Amino acid sequence: MVNGVAFPKEFAAAAAYASQEQIPFHEAERTIMGFTHCESGRALAEQWNLADDMVRVIAHHHAPEQSDAAQPLIALVHLSDLLCRMRGMGYGYYERNKLDWVADPAWSVLLKEHCNLTEIDLALFSFELDEAVGEVFELVSTIFGEKSRG
């Protein structure tokens, strides 16, 4: 993560604050650092001349409804990120957020693009995701190295 490399002390303070207050990490970054990994990541992505859709995903993955384009892609990344964080695959602590699929703005974005999502049994889908967490964790660990699941 950009902020962890560029601002290690502030990043550590934000992580401790997020864990202590049980809030999402980007909210702790905003409070402690005055900016989030979304903003620094966006600046880096623009500097590297990444594709516009990639820049939007990086910039808006915590607020897909705020982007003017690439909303379905951003919504998928948002929900995936949220699920990983809630399963202890984020910043070394378990976020105690409840996931209400239907109320999440990202779900609304996806429904606009794919009406057939209303046919999904979200309780069963959530259960199946929980069963797959181990496999996802193995994949993430293989790509990024071993980490504690918090």
81 and 139 belong to one structural domain: yes
Contact (Cβ atoms closer than 8 angstroms) between residue 53 and residue 69 = yes
Judge whether 56 lies within some domain: no
Per-residue pLDDT at 10: 93
Number of domains in the chain: 2
141 part of a folded domain? yes
User: Does residue 147 share a domain with residue 99?
Assistant: yes
Tell me, yes or no, whether 146 and 79 share the same domain: yes
pLDDT in tens, the chain (150 residues): 678 888 889 999 998 998 899 888 899 999 999 999 999 999 999 999 999 999 999 999 998 888 888 888 999 898 888 877 777 666 556 666 667 777 888 888 888 877 677 788 888 887 888 888 888 778 877 887 765 444
For residues 147 and 86, membership in a common domain is answered with yes
What was the pLDDT predicted at 147? Answer: 55
What is the chain's length?
A: 150
- Give the residue numbers spanning the domain of 134: 62-150
Q: Which of 85, 86, 91, 90 shows the shortest CA–CA distance to 15?
A: 91
Q: How many CA atoms lie less than 13 Å away from 34 in the CB half-sphere?
A: 1
In a domain? residue 54: no
- Find out whether 109 and 72 touch, Cβ atoms under 8 Å: yes
Q: What is the DSSP letter of 100?
A: -
